[in-house]
Amino acid sequence: NATYAMTNMILKLLKENKPDSILVVFDSKVPSFRHEISKDYKAQRKPMPDNLSVQVPYVKSVIGALGIPVLEIEGYEADDVIGTIVEGLRNEEVEIFIVTGDKDLMQFIGENVYVYDTMKNVVYGEKEVEEKFGVSPSLMCDFLALSGDTSDNIPGIPGIGEKTARMLTREFGSLEDIYERIEDIKKDSLKEKLIRGKDFAFLSKRLATIKRDVP
């Protein structure tokens, strides 16, 4: 079923969106640098089921048969490879669509860079990210550093949820800016949470930040 679903998705993409260029990126089997930073990173995720893992070579065969390049860089997640490609194309006169349902990659959205969630049939630009999360794409890492991300086991700061993370990033900007101006925070209980959770926050930002320089 996974092979069939993936094939259908790619054929639909080719037929309806007619991209000039397309490539597919896979996670490396070798753990990424994030697992060295935090042993808890994605630790809550169950291993890929056997009946799914055996289909991966078939999926890659289908993609290859369609003439689509496949990239997989040892020791890096697909997100980091995608981020590096996007960064390398930013100054070219092209529109870039990152096809994913993963909100982490929204940090790359900007002029001519979009995230296309085919499952929901939604294209996210800067305006859509601000409407959905209440922060600009450039502050997504800082937002996740404060509020955390349960899907990737990114801790964030205990006691700070999305609403407070949104307020802080809107008012102060990046995580570094928030801590530089921590004395400007009027609410003592919030200031205390930030002080106690500083290490968690900066660890979370490192985990949430997608690399742009994969070799």
- For 94, 157, 215, the CA distances from 89, given in Å and listed in that order, are 8, 34, 15
Q: What are phi and psi of 51, to 5 degrees?
A: -75, -10
Strand 70-71 with 113-117, pairing: unpaired
User: How many helical (H) and strand (E) elements, i.e. helices and strands, does the chain have?
Assistant: 11, 5
pTM for the model stands at 0.85
According to the model, what pLDDT value does residue 43 have? 47
According to the model, what pLDDT value does residue 151 have? 73
According to the model, what pLDDT value does residue 52 have? 85
How many whole angstroms separate alpha carbon 111 and alpha carbon 141?
18
Series of mean pLDDT values for 10-residue runs along the chain (215 residues): 93 95 89 63 62 91 96 92 94 94 90 94 95 92 90 84 94 96 94 93 90 91
According to the model, what pLDDT value does residue 148 have? 87
